[in-house]
Structure 1
Amino acid sequence: MEEIQQAGIMVLISGLVVGMLFGFVLQRGRYCMNSAFRDMIFINDYTLLRSYLLALLIAIIGANLLEDMGFMGDSGLRRQSFNIIANIIGGYIFGLGIVVAGGCGSGIIYRIGEGYTSAFVATLGFASSLVATIHGPLKPIMQYLKSFKISIGNGDDAIINPALWDLVGGHRMKWVVIAIIAAIIIPIVLKGKPFAKGPKKGYSWSLTGVFLGLVLILALWASNYWGGQTRGLSAAGPTAEAYLALIFGNSMSKFDPMFDFWGLFKGTWSALYIFGIPLGAYLSARGLGEFKLQAPPASEIMRVFGGSLIMGFGAAVAGGCTVGHALTGVSSLALSSIVATIFMILGNWTMVYFMFIKPMKD
């Protein structure tokens, strides 16, 4: 039987505030990782990629400092076990799906706050597919793919949730590896002229990257302090938990502490910030005069819904989405997240080729 704690007001407020900050930054920066990866090969534009790399650099340094200083508790940054087959297959399928759906997990959720009907439909499909894979009829497939695990070392010293530095000498090499990554990222970021004047409306790519990195660091600390377990940002598991809490009144999480919100519903801290994302995006969109209810053609609705179903299955199998793996997971330098992110990008590029580049050539 799951243990459920009575929620305090700060559990509710902190979850919603983190989500609202995240949604506000995403909308002001017009940020979506689907676009960041897609634009690299479709229009040869690296602007959003540089924003991602800047956010990632800040997150890597900040997250690992918090961990080393003891602010992440006994669980640390909770690096995922290295389920290599699931990371590869799930990541690739998720990458395919985000192109069809027109946005990554966080991208479709924040666009609800801009008034896009298609984003609401995509989020519904994403959540339904996640639940069907994590708790429903597709669960055996997910479990089978996740049964293939890789650890580093042997016996009692085996590391089942390895980080990148475990390949090159262990924890003593941690900050050496981080310094090398910083040396690679910084020239790429600087090439994009991060200190140049930004757009008249919204945030520049560099300001968006800074704020995304800082919001992630805040989320890591807040999820541990108020949520009872370090989790950071993700749009996969928490979306399923938010959906279940909204429909059934219970997030049904087996891994994170569950809270009773005054008899209204039982859920995780992470489910709360999912509700906060479209609220923050709405406030940003209203402030910029960009909120507008929009209903696309039925054909687009069906395409987006189909893509979101693919996304949900891929994210559940991979153990996370682009935010959960490519930002939160990679900030901890978990091998599982690095591999999943690589195949998300490859899946994205594959679908971009068949949906956009190949038709232009034909």
Structure 2
Amino acid sequence: MILTGLVLGAVLGIVMQRGRFCVTGMLRDIFLQRSWRTFTALLVVISVHAVGLTALTSLGVISPDYPSFMPLAVVVGGFMFGVGIILAGGCASGTWYRSGEGLVGSWIALAMYALSASAMKTGVLKGFTSGMKEWDTGLTTIPGALGVSPWLFVIALAAVTGVMVRHFRSREKSTVKPARLGNRPAWKRPLHVYTAGALVGLIGVVAWPLSAATGRNDGLGITTPTANLLNFLVTGADKKLDWGVMLVLGILVGSFIAAKSTGEFRVRVPDATTTVRSIAGGLLMGVGAALAGGCTVGNGMVQTSLFTFQGWIALLFIALGVAAATKIWLKATVTQPERGSDGDTYSTAQSLDHTVDATAPDDTSIDAAPTAGAPRTPGTNVFSGFAAAPTALMVKDPAGAPSQKLTDLGNGYYALDSLGAVCPFPLIEAKDVMQTLHSGDHLVIDFDCTQATEAIPQWAATDGHEVTDFVEKGDASWQITLQKG
């Protein structure tokens, strides 16, 4: 029976990969893009989940155990988890499915996530976890505390979600439609984020009775299954190999199948700084999720749909952690140094996370995409996500001049190399350099971040830039050309 977890997990992995479904991005967009469009997809998941789980509970098909609200653990854990998913470049489920796309940084984050979650739940940090959870309010569900039917909350949430979906869908229809890769069959095209949200919600509803049939009284979950997988691999304890473990393995398998079949799989090795941040992010994710009682799936999708205090408050503090980390780390790189200039330089602290080469390339070609993991040739114009510290102070661009991060191709065309940059950096960099161009100039962007295939065209449509070309350059490698509006 536990094999149903593997099958359902594979379906979930396919849906998430094809829908670029990332809760980190949904929360991040609120603060980075000032947009609630993708967050609405999370509300779709919760609403569909809430209708299904409330119906199954009312019919006696399932009997959820509602967690007691432990404020200190949930607040601290939620915030830590929010910071961690920004550093790691994805939430728990996002890390699993992006691992299936070949992102080595996600593999590293996933390993650290499993290690820290296991240590918090059953290992050396178990006592710390128990101590943080000593303050127990005894509160479980919000409807229960108010003495009302959960259906009132289900209907209200569904109504709010419906209004938001209608609003953003209407806005999409009234604006320029985002560009899509040409010459692709329908089955290779990404799912709309709201379609993906509805499917994830339905999968979550089906998951609970299938899981309960194996003795695991729970639905979708990532943190405990990930910790259990590590415990099984280390100790060989068969009892750890349950339906939940099969679910997360299924996500990896499904994502790999989806990415490989659509040309979106390629092993991509991160630079040193991204690796360090993946390690830190994974560790924070495991500690935070263990304290808060769940991740963006366990709390942000399941517990919220059960209307527990833990679920909604954890989601709030995860969002606050995302906000703080976004403000600190998600910034465009600075520009190349002007040797010999002694005015208006960036401080060492401002330059700390970035590196560039002062020597411009002689014959850089935008069609030359380096193999994943291959070392860069000194002097190439490359933005590689989080790079190492510089050897010199940086100098701000002269007013009105094109960004020095760009390669001038002539005739008003400029190239931005974002190969190796993890999301959302291709978009952040594109927005940054576009400000330095004149109306009518063209920006040619090379990138290999799967999520950017949606994010960059969406931004271009919203901000009035025309996509004049959008092509695949190889496995998990794309080039898009924008004309500034």
TM-score bin, normalised by smaller chain: 0.7 to 0.9
Matching of residues 301-320 of structure 1 within 5 Å: 301-320=275-294
SS class of match (2:169): coil
Alignment of 1:178 with 2:154, yes or no, is yes
RMSD across aligned C-alpha pairs, in angstroms? 2.1
CA distance in 2, matches of 1:285, 1:250: 32
CA distance in 2, matches of 1:229, 1:69: 19
Q: Which amino acid aligns with 1:52?
A: L
Who is 2:190 aligned against?
202
Who is 1:254 aligned against?
none
Who is 2:53 aligned against?
63
Distance 1:267 1:36, change over 3 A: same
CA distance in 2, matches of 1:296, 1:358: 18
CA distance in 1, matches of 2:67, 2:11: 26
Contact 1:50 1:205 in 2 (8 A): no
Matching of residues 1-362 of structure 1 within 5 Å: 10-12=1-3, 14-72=4-62, 76-152=63-139, 162-170=140-148, 173-193=149-169, 201-225=189-213, 227-250=214-237, 258=239, 267-356=241-330
Contact 2:54 2:150 in 1 (8 A): no
| Paired positions, count | 324
Q: Give 1:85 deviation, angstroms.
A: 1.3
- Over residues 107-146 of structure 1, what are the superposed CA-to-partner deviations in whole Å (9 max), with x where a residue is unaligned? 1111111011111111000000111111222211110111
Contact 1:20 1:281 in 2 (8 A): yes
- Over residues 187-230 of structure 1, what are the superposed CA-to-partner deviations in whole Å (9 max), with x where a residue is unaligned? 112112189689662101111111111111111121112x2132
- Over residues 30-89 of structure 1, what are the superposed CA-to-partner deviations in whole Å (9 max), with x where a residue is unaligned? 1111111001110123332111111111101011101111111xxx12221111211111
Higher RCO structure, 1 or 2 (CA under 8 Å, sep 6+): 1
Q: Give 1:168 deviation, angstroms.
A: 2.2
CA distance in 2, matches of 1:56, 1:81: 20
CA distance in 1, matches of 2:144, 2:310: 12
Q: Which amino acid aligns with 2:200?
A: L
- Over residues 76-104 of structure 1, what are the superposed CA-to-partner deviations in whole Å (9 max), with x where a residue is unaligned? 12221111211111111111111111110
Q: Which amino acid aligns with 2:153?
A: V
Whose strand fraction is larger, Structure 1's or Structure 2's? Answer: 2
Structure 1 residue runs of 4+, over 3 Å off?
Answer: 194-200, 357-362
Q: Which amino acid aligns with 2:195?
A: L
Q: Which amino acid aligns with 1:134?
A: K
Q: Give 1:285 deviation, angstroms.
A: 0.6
CA distance in 2, matches of 1:80, 1:191: 34
Q: Give 1:164 deviation, angstroms.
A: 1.4
Contact 2:67 2:308 in 1 (8 A): yes
SS class of match (1:46): coil
Contact 2:222 2:244 in 1 (8 A): no
Q: Which amino acid aligns with 1:78?
A: D
SS class of match (1:31): coil
Q: Which amino acid aligns with 2:79?
A: Y
SS class of match (1:231): coil
Q: Give 1:358 deviation, angstroms.
A: 10
Contact 1:83 1:149 in 2 (8 A): yes
SS class of match (1:307): helix
CA distance in 1, matches of 2:268, 2:260: 15
In structure 2, stretches of 5+ residues that fail to align are 182-188, 335-345, 351-485
Contact 2:299 2:312 in 1 (8 A): yes
Q: Give 1:359 deviation, angstroms.
A: 8.5
Contact 1:24 1:284 in 2 (8 A): yes
Q: Greater CA radius of gyration, 1 or 2?
A: 2
CA distance in 1, matches of 2:300, 2:288: 14
SS class of match (1:47): coil
Q: Give 1:167 deviation, angstroms.
A: 3.1
CA distance in 2, matches of 1:27, 1:47: 19
Who is 2:467 aligned against?
none
CA distance in 1, matches of 2:201, 2:208: 11
CA distance in 2, matches of 1:123, 1:352: 21
Q: Give 1:247 deviation, angstroms.
A: 2.8
Q: Which amino acid aligns with 1:115?
A: G
